Structure 1
């Protein structure tokens, strides 16, 4: 299976279990996590955390956290908070 089999190039969203998932959700979640890891981007940490929390329902709908478990305790805690 290829990405375009799930979401065609011209489509930007898909509805999974009544949760709207945008194309790029996994990528932007990881970029925000990297921001949280970077001590030189402290001013961006608060917004990165807010943005990550907003993405967690979509990532759960995709099944990401069933397939991958975070090694970073802070990330695991953030995922737990966002799952509530």
Structure 2
């Protein structure tokens, strides 16, 4: 059921061809999954991993990846700065 709802929502957003809404929806899915796993007492990293798996299974995964690239680059830079200090 979740798979059908997720694909239907992604299809609706992609048909409108609004990159901002697709990016916002992607970030919402990621943060919501992170919060759900944190509330369950599991790691936030596990939640991010599960959200990545969930988004990678959509038929719009390439579009999601290109839209989310600026956020990925920013967070990757912050990660290396934190590890380097």
Q: TM-score range by the shorter chain?
A: 0.3 to 0.5
Whichever structure has more strand as a proportion of its residues is 1
More helix by percentage: 2
Choose between structure 1 and 2 for higher RCO, CA contacts under 8 A separated by at least 6 residues: 2
TM-score by length of 2: 0.35
Instruction: Give me the TM-score of the superposition, normalised by structure 1.
Output: 0.35
